[in-house]
């Protein structure tokens, strides 16, 4: 997909990334739907319980990540802090700003991750990464300053007799 990635896995990776994006969008939509009927913690508990059931075959098959104390500690950190806590905050935010805005704002996450990697871990950013960061920030800025189409289309036209 990228000019420098002519590996067989790059097409599969792109397909999997697209499927992940669809799943993420569906999750945000589901949170938006559930937020009218349930509290954020209840919504997230239901979604994570479903996810745990779907991922349980990985734990049963003895994936490498569950072996050893340091792997388990990392897994618990990822599960509790980077996932459960972060998504709970996301679930609280969705009813406040709406699913479309929440998902749009979450698109800044890879920009922040790349910036932290560059600044804190001294990782060099490639030109394509910098361009991607700029495009993402530009798109988010455009979304934030654009007109709300739903408000424009709901206004009645000026008619003079």
What is the pLDDT, as a whole number, of residue 135? 92
CA–CA gap between residue 157 and residue 161 (Å, rounded): 13
For the chain, helix (H) and strand (E) counts, in that order, are 8, 0
Sign of CA dihedral 141, 105, 18, 28: negative
Place of tokens 């991607």: 132
Report long-range pairs for 92-95 (Cβ below 8 Å, ≥24 apart). 92/40, 94/28, 94/31, 94/32, 94/35, 94/40, 95/32, 95/35, 95/36, 95/40
Residue 152 pLDDT > 50: no
Kindly report, residue by residue over 63-99, the tens digit of the pLDDT: 565 566 677 777 788 878 888 788 888 878 878 888 7
Q: How confident is the model at residue 31 (pLDDT cuts 50, 70, 90)?
A: confident
- The answer to whether 106 touches 90, Cβ cutoff 8 Å, is yes
Average confidence score pLDDT of the chain: 76
Kindly report, residue by residue over 87-141, the tens digit of the pLDDT: 888 878 878 888 778 878 888 888 998 999 999 999 999 999 999 999 999 988 8
Cβ within 8 Å of residue 95, ≥6 positions away: 32, 35, 36, 40
- The answer to whether 24 touches 103, Cβ cutoff 8 Å, is yes
Residue 151 pLDDT > 70: no
């Amino acid at each position: 997909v990228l000019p420098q990635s002519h590996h067989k896995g790059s097409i599969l990776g792109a397909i999997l990334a697209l499927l992940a994006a669809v799943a993420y969008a569906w999750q945000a939509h589901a949170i938006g739907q559930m937020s009218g009927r349930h509290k954020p913690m209840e919504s997230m508990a239901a979604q994570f319980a479903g996810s745990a059931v779907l991922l349980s075959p990985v734990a049963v098959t003895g994936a490498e990540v569950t072996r050893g104390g340091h792997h388990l500690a990392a897994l618990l950190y990822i599960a509790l802090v980077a996932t459960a806590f972060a998504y709970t905050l996301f679930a609280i935010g969705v009813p406040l700003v709406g699913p479309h805005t929440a998902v749009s704002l979450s698109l800044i996450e890879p920009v922040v991750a790349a910036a932290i990697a560059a600044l804190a871990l001294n990782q060099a950013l490639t030109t394509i990464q910098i361009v991607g960061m700029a495009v993402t920030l530009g798109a988010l800025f455009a979304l934030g300053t654009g007109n709300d189409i739903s408000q424009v289309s709901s206004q009645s036209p000026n008619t003079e007799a």
